[in-house]
Amino acid sequence: DYKGQKLAEQIFQGIILVSAVIGFIYGYITEQFGWTVYIVMAGFALSCVLTLPPWPMYRRNPLKWLPVQESGTEEKKAADRKPKRHSKS
């Protein structure tokens, strides 16, 4: 559902943003860029675990699909088709 997709996107972006800010600050204080990368990667992994599986919180508003309509016979379908003609230019 669309509301679940929006929620998953907001959670994903929020976790990435927070982990990037925390990683940057911690990396700046310790003067180690590696820590910044590790913290951002941990945030990415956490956000993937929270948003990629179809958790029930993302499936609260299912879409209502149209009912299946019965189609005509194959003969009718074949008769409705027109042969394709290619124009020569």
20: its two tokens:
């990037």
Checking if the pLDDT of 75 tops 60, the result is: no
Q: What angle do CA 42, 43, 48 make, to 5 degrees?
A: 100
pLDDT tens sequence across 46-68: 999 999 999 999 889 888 888 98
Checking if the pLDDT of 82 tops 90, the result is: no
For residues 4 and 71, what is the distance between their CA atoms, to the nearest angstrom?
33
Mean pLDDT of the 9-31 span:
97
pLDDT recorded at residue 49: 96
Cβ-proximal residues to 35 (8 Å cutoff; 6+ apart), any chain: 23, 26, 27
- Mean of per-residue pLDDT scores for the chain: 87
Tokens 């679940």, residue located: 4
pTM above 0.95, yes or no: no
Where along the chain do its domains lie?
2-57
For residues 57 and 81, the model is more confident at 57
Checking if the pLDDT of 78 tops 60, the result is: no
